Structure formats: structure tokens, C-alpha cells
Structure 1
Amino acid sequence: MQTNTSTEAAAGASARKVAKAPGIRQTMSDLHIWTGLLAGWLLYAMFLTGTASYFRDEISQWMRPDVPAQLQLADAADLAPRLIATMQTLAPTSTQWGIRLPDARNNTASAFWRDDKRFKRATLDPATAQAIGVRESIGGEFFYRFHFQLHYLPVLWGRWLAGLCGMFMLVAIVSGVITHKKIFIDFFTFRGGKGQRSWLDAHNALSVLGLPFHLMITYTGLITLMLMYMPWGSDAAFKEASQRQAMQTELSAFVRPGQPSGQKAALAPVGGMVEQAQARWGRNGVGSVNVNNPGDASARVIVVRADDARVSTSPQFMMFDGATGQLLQTKDRVGAAAETRGVMYALHLGRFSDYPLRWLYFLVSLAGTAMVGTGLVMWTVKRRARLPDPARPYFGFRLVERLNIAAIAGLSVAMAAFFWGNRLLPAAMADRKVWEVDLLFIVWGATLTYALARPAKRAWIELLWLAAALLVLLPLVNGLTTDRNLMHSIATGDWLFAGFDLTLLAFGGLHALLAMRVKRHKAAVRPVARKSRRAPGTAASGASLDLAPSVTATGPL
């Protein structure tokens, strides 16, 4: 009898242990929390700079105010021969020229050429077809490059780290959907002023708002660099150098120059070649013109189709004999795998989109940035309530809290400083574009130092106000340092400059609202049950409870 009782007790204990095992939602919740936190700071920066990259061409134009606004798009068949003539002066001994023609979003042509195994670049004026001296600036290209390869790191290391963060992001999205059983119901619920509950509601709403977009942008971002992350399949399938070159031709319109023949020959009229391409793709269908071995009998002219009007970046080009002008090859399609990759690449970059669709890309991507930011803040909000002494948190919590401040508010300050540097650094300064970027990281590092030295709430408020001031004053700085101020831009129909200044004012106002919201926030006070001392002779079962107020800090909002 006693043995049976012991067996039943053991079985009951075993059943209780099984019952306490975490379920799939709890497991996914832990996975969601920690993948989001460990990669969250880099993901926030990647999301925000990637969001800005949807207007990288417009940012580049704003950062080169000395280049006049483009009033009318030049005809490619007329402009290309004049640009080729300029290249014959700029790089007469080069074995490769490349010219990107101006389009609706770029008011200049850009040229590159190979010289002594290095590539050189120049900006060309469409009106004169001559090289123009513009202030040295990396422009919006910095945000584009940073969002997938970071900075100050070897390119491959940066891309591997960005890819690792992208994988964490994909895991966080999938596990977050599994964790939040009522995520779509909660999307329509927002409870303001409720501390942790408000942060969770905001996080849920921002997540559901662009969930398909977030999945698409994360997955396609990984696909764009899949051959670097997983090269084994292509290495096994394409072992010969010629096979690998053929694979690259399927993915890119870049055609390697062959060996020159050594026999000189004048370049055939390029205008006629461009006209043939226009007849096939439309008047504005030509994106660039590349010339291999110019001045040699083996010269090749590759007219490449623009990818801003099609949902694919798969290469399409027409290749001509440079000496005779004869059409040698027309590439209109690629294999199914390469086309799938081209479509995913185009969906990620959004180059095909017109301005309304690009703004939609921008706003939904901005919501994704806010999703990451609210998730980071919610981690500290949730755990601060459990601290034994919220006024004196342990080191790990304090570090995460300060990193949140620098990663979110500090990055806004740093990006604003980047634009200020573009206007205030001397135009003739050596390595000017390098200093623009260095200034961003110097200011960003300073915000982290500031956040470590100040109380958390004060650091949030002060850095948000600083970001607001820098953004709001930037149009004024632009008006004082250039002749393209906001009023002049509106009056002359220069909507790129006017739109940029108005966007800066809008984001400055947003940061000011956040700063005021943080300042008005008061820590919630909740009653905490505390056992009172038992009077002599009082039975334990009759112990009374007294309530003492306990302050629970809930983060910046």
C-alpha cells in the first residue's frame, strides 16, 4: 500500500513537471525577445538608413546644391555621343568607360573609367557634356551603403554582419507572429498612458501595419547577397572561369573587356546605337552606355536598359561592334532563377516606383524602424518594473537603456549633423566627403557618452530636443549657405529642394513632440502588497496586509 502511494506521488510530481514545460508560444516569445534585443541596435540603424535610401538620389542632389536643377530631360541619342566625346578627352588610354545617363531623379550624368586597374569617376553636365566641379560629397550613397555593409569595416565583414542581423530580424518577425496570438485584434487597440501596455500596443500596431512589407524587405535583403552567404551551390555548379563569367552575365549587365587587338580604329557613331535601343525600349528606356576597349578594333559598345520602369533588375542590353556599329547581341531575358533574383532585388530597392509608391515604401519602412525602436524600449520598460530598486538598476540593464538612447535619439542627432557638415565644411576641404561621414560617427559616439553620463529620462528629452533643433534649423542653414532657400525653391518650382526642406521641418516637429511627450510622462505608482509585522499573540492565519506605494518607472513614454 505504501509502495503504491509512493508511486502515485512520483507520477504526480512527474505530471506536474510535464505540465510546467514551456509551450510553443512561450518558447517563441523568448526567441523573439532575445533575437530582437541582440541585433536590435544595428537593425534600427540599418532600417533607418535603408529608409532614407529610397530617396538617395534626391539626397545626393540636395547635398550638391551647386549643380543646377534639371529642367528638361535630354534625349539620350543626342546626349550620349557628346558624353563619349568628353570621355575621349578625360580617359583616352582607358580600357573601359561607363556613362550613366541623367533621368527623372538625377540631374547629371556620371562617368567612370578604368585607369591603371583603378576606377575613377566624374560628374558631367547634361547641358554642356563637360565635367563639372561640384563639392565633394558622398551624398545619399552613404545611407545606401551603410544599411547593408556598415562602415569602417572591410566590406565583406560588414555585409556578413548585416546579413547576420537580417537573419535575426527574419527570426524575430516569424517568432513574433507566433507569440502574439491576438496580434491582428490588438492592431485596433491602443491604450495611451499605460506604460508597458502602451509600448506593447504601439509595437503590435507598427508590426501589423507593414507585416508583409517587413517580411519582404528582410527576406529579399538576404537574397541580394545570397551568393556571398551561401556560395557552395554556385561553386559546385560553375567550376570553370568561363562558366562563372557566364553566370555573372546572367546577373549583371557588366561585360568584361576582352583583350585589345592592338589595331586602332575610330569609334562608330554611338547615337545610332542608342536610337536602336530606344526603338526597342522607348525614348527614356536607356539607362547607361558602356564602352570596352575604346579606340581599338575590338571595341564593344553596350547600351543598357534602365531599370527604373520595370519590376526587375535582371540585365537587358544591346551590344554593338564599336568599330562598325553592327549589332552583335541583344539580351532581353535571363533564366528563371536569375529572373527571380532580379525581381526580388527590384522589390527590395524600389527603383521601379514612381513618387507616390516610393513615399509608401518610405513610410512603411519608417514604421518598421519604429517597430524595432519600440521593441528595444519595451525590453527596458518591462524589466524596470521588476527591479528591486528601479532607481539603481544593475549594470546590464543600465547599459541596454543607454544603448537604446544612443541608438534611437542619438542616431537622429548624428544624421542631422551629417547634413549640417555638408553645408558648413569648406568646399575645398581635402577628403571632404570622408569628413562628412566621420562627423556623423563622431557625433553619434558623443551621444552615447552623453547618455551614459545623464539620467535616462533627461538624456532622452535633451537628445530628442537637440535632434529637433538641428533638423528644424537645417533649412535655415541651407538658405544662408546656398541660393536655393525654401521660399526661392517654391517660387521657382524646385520641388526637390522645397520637399527636402519641408521634410526636415516635419521630422523636426516629430522629434519635438516626442521630447514633450517624454517630459510629460510621470512614473506610474502601483500598490505593492507587503506583509505587516505580526503583533504578539496574533495567529499567523490572521496576519493582515498593508499597502505601500511603490514607484514603477516605465521608460521614456
Structure 2
Amino acid sequence: MKNGFRQSMAWLHTWTGLLVGWLLLLIFMAGTASYYRDEISRWMRPELPRSTVSSDVAAQRALTFLQHKAPQAESWNITLPSPRNPAMRMFWRNPESMVKPPAEGEKRRRGGGRFGDATVDPNTGNEVSARETRGGDFFYRLHFDLHYIPVLWARYLVGFCAMFMLVAIITGVITHKKIFKDFFTFRPDKGLRSWLDFHNVSAVMALPYHAMITYTGIVTLMFMYLPWGMNKAYPNDEAAFYSEAFARMADVEGPGEGSATPVPIQQLLDSARREWKGADVGSFVVSRPGAANAVVDVYQRDVRRLSSDAPSLRFNAVTGELVQASPVPGGATQTRGVMYGLHLAHFADWGLRALFFLSGLVGCLMVASGVVLWAVKERPKHAKSGRTGFGLRLVDALNIGAVAGLPIAFAAYFWGNRLLPLELAERPAAEANVFFYAWGAALLAAFLWPKRLMWAAQLYVGAALFALIPVVNALTTHAHLGVTLLAGDWVLAGFDLMMLAFGAMLAYCGLRMQRWQPALSAAEKKKRQAAAAAAAAAKPPVPAEASA
């Protein structure tokens, strides 16, 4: 630690940011991409059609499909199409008596064969044959579950990084006495001073967002990090705690009894809209379908609602009577729901979502400039000794592999979606492997040659990969810019255009890095001035006759 409070905070800010900076950059980049995970998922499944029917028609077609596909299921779960996600996604749970053990040598199905799922075209009610992919959900899960390691360990690791990030934000505010003045100050081509200015601007520009997204990220997993109160109050019934704490209706239990004809689903959806004063329906669950005691749980769509906790209603599927509504949440539940909702930003319209996305990009720049700034500060110390130490070489390699290498991995993930065979087994896992293979290659190259030209090379590679994504899309699908722009499909067209924009931005950064020359230190400037003065003094004077 350093002498003085502010100096101690500066030391703490430096090391809390540096030690987890590279993993934080991955978390920030994946989390920022998650704001458009529905749009990413749609682009990655170009076979999905756009919905042209109402929610009521789509709901009825979903039930017709499930009555033929899974008539004996214990429950049906249907997510209705939305402007951001045009296809219907449905799941069902089969009775245990229907689950058959895998044959000898056969791989056991995920969920043990008890659960089924399908994607249905709401326009026709038929199942859509679309490529298997995790789409944008890969980035969503990556930013708090990471990959290849147990989920529990990953979430503790991400929480640890988030706490370090929160400490770095607080200490950064304390350290900068002129924080608001620094926001309006940027001095280009000044070496260390320029990097510090850039770090300050990127930090202050979206400071409320940085603090909010970090704190609410910790809150989303607070019951995993601090489980003791829940374990004490509900030692043997964790499900009861979540039902009460999150204002949820109790699960439907017991088998179906008899059989009866249900009321039209449109009647139940209209009743829900009246109860919610016009709010739309996002999904519904039919428990004990076809039975005389069947019930339908209807969930509100999470649009323009700050809290992530969706109100729900339970109807008798045969009579249409309202049986139960989700409990009115208390103050603590509402607070937690709002914080979780702020983190996910499902309430945001297109303009506010774009602002969240830009703030996330600024956060990525803040983290990236922070880890680079440490290396820029340390380099003059190593230059005096005439050799680069292990610590600086390690940080240089990690900086290149994370800051310039991660964009390569993101672009490679989209390339994998278009180029991997459609019939490939475990295709979603293969796409994720492409992401990490590309990132691993970038990290390896950075460790082998952690020089300035490697920065430029990887930035150019990332630029080319992003810029060529629309080309690869046009060569492999019919959902390219020539079609989507004319059809006014701005979700698919906007994705391709953003890829071009990212490619141009990375190409500009690569050009700047290629031409960048480090600013001279004060000692080097004095040394060169002294050498120039000595050379001028040693030069013989010109005779007056010669000059005449």
C-alpha cells in the first residue's frame, strides 16, 4: 500500500482492475452482446419465418400441434412469437411411465427423454426444420456461466470478478479529484497521457451504467453467494422459499382426472389482458392437458415493465374461471425484481436498448484501456534496464489475446454458424468450440510474439472476419442484405450492417496501431536534445567568404 488515502485507493484501483481485467473483458463483451440475444438467435437460424398472425391464432396453432405431438404429456409450455423472436418455442414434460431407457450403446438423451421441445411456425402451425444453435443464448450464458468448467465454480468466479470491478469503480472515483474535468479532456498522440485520458473518458462517460450493471449483476446471484438466511428459514423446502420470495404461484401437483373439452385459448388470453389492463401475453403453461382438472397459467410479456418478475394468472382450462393470481410482491421482492430487470433490460425499447448496448461497449473500452494503461506505464521502467521483464511480457500477451483476440473469437462464432454442416451432431457445442479455438489461437500467437505488429495483425484479422460475415451469409443462405433490405426485415439486415460497422472500426484501430509510435519520455527527450546540441557544437563554423 502507498502512503496517504488517495494513493492507497489508486494502488487498489490499479491491481483490482488488472488482476481480473481480461476475464472481465470477456464478461463485459458477452453481456453486452446479450442485449441483442434474440436478434442474434434469429440471424443464426435463418430458416425461421417471420410471424404474420396474431398471438391468439399462434396460441391455438401451438395447442393443435401439441395435441398431436405430445397428447400424453403432463404439461405444455408455449412461448408466443414476438417482434424480436418470430417463432414459437414450446416444451413439454412426459410422464415417467413413457420414458424408455436408452438401448445398449445408445447415448442417453438430454433430460433422460422425459422432456421434449419443438420450434413451430406460427403462420402454419408446422414444426420448423431449422439448424441447431444456441444463438445469442451462448453469449448470455457465457457472461455468467463461462464455459468448460462447472457452473457453480464459474458463477463464484464471475461474482469474484464483479466484486473486484465494483471496488475498481469506487476507488477510481475516489482517485480522480478532477473526474468531471477529465471527462472533457483528451490529448491525442501524447503516449501515457493519451491512454490515461481515454481510460478516464470511457469510465466517466457511462459511470452510472458501469456501477448499475456491476452491482445488479452481483444481486442476480445473491442467494447463491449468501444462502445462509434461506437455509435457516427454509431448511428442507427451498422451492417454498422461491415461491414466496419471488411472488410465484405454487406448482401444479397431482395427476389429471377424467377428461373434458377445454375452452378456447383465446378466451383465457383475453381474460388475462383484461386483468392486466391491456398488457400482452408472453407465454402460457397448460398443466394436465385434456383432463377435467386441467389449468392454464398465463404469463405477462416482459415489455415496458421494469421488474423481471412477470405477473401470472391461473385459469381453469375447462370453465375459463380465474382460479388464482400471483401474489402481490412485497418491498424486498419488488426491489430484487427491479434490480434483476435493470440488469437484463427486457423492458427497453429499441432506442433504450441501443443506449444500453453502447454503454456496454464503452465499458469494454474502459476495461481494455485499463489493462493496456498498466503496460504503457511499466514499459519505461523496463526500458531503462534494457530488457522486458516476465510480468510485462505476460501482460502484453494477455492484452493482445484479450483485447484484439476476443473480437476474432466473436466473429468466428458467427462464421461457424454458417459453415458447419447442418447435420453435424452436437452442432451447438461445435459452434462454441469454434469460438474458443479461435480465441485460443489468438492467445497463442500473442504469447509467441507479444509485439506491436501482433496488435495490428490481430485487429486486421478481426476486421476481415467481421466485414466478411455478410458475404458468407449471402453465399450460404437466402437471408442476405439483398433480400432483407428490400423486405424491410431490419432485424436480419441490421445484424449484417452492424458486422460491417464492427469490421470498419477494427480496421481503423489496426491502422492506428500499425502507424503508432510511442511518445518519448522526458529523459529520452533530454537525451536527444543534448545529442543534437553536441552535434551542432562539434560542427565546424562556415567561413564568412564561403557564406558570401
Superposition TM-score, scaled by structure 1 size? 0.88
Percent of paired sites with the same residue: 46
CA shift, 1:159, in A, is 1.2
The answer to whether the Cα contact below 8 Å between 2:248 and 2:327 also exists between their aligned partners in 1 is no
Gapped runs of 5+ residues in structure 2?
97-110, 533-548
The answer to whether the Cα contact below 8 Å between 2:304 and 2:348 also exists between their aligned partners in 1 is yes
Following the alignment from structure 1 to structure 2, what is the Cα–Cα distance between the partners of residues 296 and 158? 43
In the alignment, what sits opposite 2:164?
168
Following the alignment from structure 1 to structure 2, what is the Cα–Cα distance between the partners of residues 371 and 21? 24
- Specify the code of the residue in structure 2 equivalent to 1:228: M
- Specify the code of the residue in structure 2 equivalent to 1:90: K
In the alignment, what sits opposite 1:12?
none
Question: Which deviates the most, 507-516 or 519-528?
Answer: 519-528
Following the alignment from structure 1 to structure 2, what is the Cα–Cα distance between the partners of residues 87 and 451? 52
The answer to whether the Cα contact below 8 Å between 1:416 and 1:467 also exists between their aligned partners in 2 is yes
In the alignment, what sits opposite 2:272?
277
1:422-437 mapped onto 2 (5 Å cutoff):
422-437=417-432
CA shift, 1:237, in A, is 2.5
Residues 190/260 of structure 1: CA separation in 2 closer, same or farther (3 Å cut): same
- Of 364, 368, 373, the match for 1:369: 364
In the alignment, what sits opposite 2:540?
none
In the alignment, what sits opposite 1:224?
220
Residues 447/390 of structure 1: CA separation in 2 closer, same or farther (3 Å cut): farther
Superposition TM-score, scaled by structure 2 size? 0.89
In the alignment, what sits opposite 1:114?
93
Following the alignment from structure 2 to structure 1, what is the Cα–Cα distance between the partners of residues 277 and 133? 33
Residues 348/275 of structure 1: CA separation in 2 closer, same or farther (3 Å cut): same
The answer to whether the Cα contact below 8 Å between 1:112 and 1:121 also exists between their aligned partners in 2 is yes
The answer to whether the Cα contact below 8 Å between 2:247 and 2:329 also exists between their aligned partners in 1 is no
- Of 11, 20, 42, the match for 1:39: 20
- Of 70, 76, 87, the match for 2:66: 87
- Of 374, 392, 402, the match for 1:379: 374
The answer to whether the Cα contact below 8 Å between 2:27 and 2:143 also exists between their aligned partners in 1 is yes
The answer to whether the Cα contact below 8 Å between 2:242 and 2:248 also exists between their aligned partners in 1 is no
Question: Aligned pair count?
Answer: 515
CA shift, 1:390, in A, is 7.2
1:402-551 mapped onto 2 (5 Å cutoff):
402-526=397-521, 528=523
Which whole-Å deviations, capped at 9, do the CAs of 1:454-498 have from their partners, x for residues lacking one?
Answer: 242111000000000011111111111111221322112111111
Residues 481/54 of structure 1: CA separation in 2 closer, same or farther (3 Å cut): same
Residues 287/75 of structure 1: CA separation in 2 closer, same or farther (3 Å cut): same
Which whole-Å deviations, capped at 9, do the CAs of 1:197-249 have from their partners, x for residues lacking one?
Answer: 111100000111110111111111111111111111222233452x7425335
Which whole-Å deviations, capped at 9, do the CAs of 1:263-291 have from their partners, x for residues lacking one?
Answer: 44444432211110122335561010112
Question: Which deviates the most, 113-122 or 315-324?
Answer: 113-122
Question: Which deviates the most, 150-159 or 207-216?
Answer: 150-159
Following the alignment from structure 1 to structure 2, what is the Cα–Cα distance between the partners of residues 28 and 63? 45
Which whole-Å deviations, capped at 9, do the CAs of 1:67-101 have from their partners, x for residues lacking one?
Answer: 1233x4x3323322221221222222322221111
Question: Which deviates the most, 482-491 or 280-289?
Answer: 280-289
The answer to whether residue 50 in structure 2 is matched with residue 69 in structure 1 is yes
The answer to whether residue 168 in structure 2 is matched with residue 189 in structure 1 is no
In the alignment, what sits opposite 1:78?
57
Residues 75/390 of structure 1: CA separation in 2 closer, same or farther (3 Å cut): farther
1:292-307 mapped onto 2 (5 Å cutoff):
292-307=287-302
Gapped runs of 5+ residues in structure 1?
1-19, 533-544, 550-557
Following the alignment from structure 1 to structure 2, what is the Cα–Cα distance between the partners of residues 330 and 188? 52
Following the alignment from structure 1 to structure 2, what is the Cα–Cα distance between the partners of residues 294 and 200? 62
- Specify the code of the residue in structure 1 equivalent to 2:213: I
The answer to whether the Cα contact below 8 Å between 1:410 and 1:463 also exists between their aligned partners in 2 is yes
The answer to whether the Cα contact below 8 Å between 1:64 and 1:134 also exists between their aligned partners in 2 is yes
- Of 35, 53, 56, the match for 2:34: 53
In the alignment, what sits opposite 2:120?
124
For the aligned residues, what is the CA RMSD?
A: 2.3
Which whole-Å deviations, capped at 9, do the CAs of 1:302-340 have from their partners, x for residues lacking one?
Answer: 001111221111231110123433210122631111111
- Of 119, 127, 133, the match for 1:137: 133
Which whole-Å deviations, capped at 9, do the CAs of 1:427-457 have from their partners, x for residues lacking one?
Answer: 1111111111100001100101111122421
The answer to whether residue 65 in structure 2 is matched with residue 102 in structure 1 is no
CA shift, 1:130, in A, is 2.2
CA shift, 1:524, in A, is 2.6
The answer to whether residue 336 in structure 2 is matched with residue 341 in structure 1 is yes
1:195-206 mapped onto 2 (5 Å cutoff):
195-206=191-202
Question: Which deviates the most, 53-62 or 276-285?
Answer: 276-285
Following the alignment from structure 2 to structure 1, what is the Cα–Cα distance between the partners of residues 214 and 37? 19
Which whole-Å deviations, capped at 9, do the CAs of 1:34-90 have from their partners, x for residues lacking one?
Answer: 1101111111011011111101000011101111233x4x33233222212212222
